[in-house]
């Protein structure tokens, strides 16, 4: 991959993170040369977008339908009170451009569907799955496996956060983790914004590691955090040879 060069302004903005051993100017150039799709930019996806934008990713494709509701504001940090009743994705794009005017933001005013998933996944280097509904998540998973794109999987419930990184053919995919559609899952669930932010920031960090080669990712490991007790668990997860989504890929 031919890496983008940094401007003097970018060197000034990213100076502190380029001091990180193993990241440096090369990591920054890799990040600037990278693109990501974030599916839904609410409690989870908002912090993902914000941290990727702040870190200097080159291009963000953000997908989220609907308008801002009062009940979004306990956790959706890219939405604001004066945006209630207005487009969520316009608020997302505006806030991200305010943070990082160098960022190329592609705002998609709809959620991921079977009709748009292939085109959206095809535009980017990595995908962040932050959707609240499993059919949307499984659709993204199938497409990422089909196109061989890494997907960072983030989720929250109550005071719990969990994150894993899916590398098609190398790690379990979402259908390995959950072979059946969870029939009792509902669109609305209990969550505190700080928990979503923890999961979102962790997911963004995972993405930065995948894109730049920094550190070690959560590939093959499900990180589960119970913030009620601050217990962090690393749960090893395995591919299912009979997985209908990724079982046919060589190991």
Partner 1 sequence: MRVKVHFYGQIRQKAGVEHTDIDLAEGTVLRLAFSALAARHGEEFGRMVLEPSGRVHPNLICLVNDVPATGDEHVLKDGDGVALFSPVAGG
What Cα–Cα distance (Å) separates residue 61 from each residue in 36, 46, 162?
Answer: 6, 13, 23
Residues near partner 1, by CB under 8 A: 40, 42-45, 129-134, 137, 154-158, 160, 162, 177-180, 182-185, 187, 189, 191, 196, 199, 222, 224, 226, 233, 235-237
CB of 155 to partner 1, least distance (A): 4
Closer residue to partner 1 in complex, CB, 130/144 = 130
CB of 168 to partner 1, least distance (A): 20
Closer residue to partner 1 in complex, CB, 29/75 = 75
CB of 134 to partner 1, least distance (A): 6
CB of 53 to partner 1, least distance (A): 19
Closer residue to partner 1 in complex, CB, 214/218 = 218
CB of 239 to partner 1, least distance (A): 13
Closer residue to partner 1 in complex, CB, 7/185 = 185
Closer residue to partner 1 in complex, CB, 121/177 = 177
Closer residue to partner 1 in complex, CB, 25/160 = 160
CB of 27 to partner 1, least distance (A): 27
């Amino acid at each position: 991959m031919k890496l983008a060069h940094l401007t003097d302004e970018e060197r000034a903005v990213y100076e502190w993170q380029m001091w990180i051993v193993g990241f440096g100017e090369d990591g920054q150039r890799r990040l600037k040369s990278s693109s990501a799709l974030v599916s839904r930019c609410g409690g989870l996806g908002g912090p993902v977008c914000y941290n990727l934008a702040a870190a200097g990713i080159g291009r963000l494709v953000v997908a989220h339908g609907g308008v801002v509701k009062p009940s979004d504001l306990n956790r959706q940090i890219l939405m604001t009170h004066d945006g209630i009743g207005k487009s969520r994705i316009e608020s997302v794009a505006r806030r991200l451009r305010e943070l990082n005017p160098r960022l190329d933001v592609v705002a998609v005013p709809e959620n991921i569907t079977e009709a748009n998933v292939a085109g959206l996944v095809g535009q980017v280097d990595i995908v962040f799955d932050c959707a609240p509904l499993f059919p949307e998540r499984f659709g993204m998973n199938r497409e990422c496996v089909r196109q061989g794109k890494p997907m960072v999987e983030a989720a929250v419930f109550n005071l719990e956060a969990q994150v894993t990184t899916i590398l098609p053919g190398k790690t379990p995919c979402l259908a390995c983790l959950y072979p059946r559609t969870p029939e009792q899952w509902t669109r609305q669930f209990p969550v505190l914004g700080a928990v979503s932010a923890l999961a979102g920031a962790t997911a963004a960090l995972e993405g930065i590691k995948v894109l730049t080669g920094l550190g070690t990712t959560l590939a093959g490991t499900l990180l589960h955090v119970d913030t009620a007790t601050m217990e962090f668990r690393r749960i090893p997860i395995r591919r299912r040879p009979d997985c209908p989504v990724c079982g046919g890929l060589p190991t």
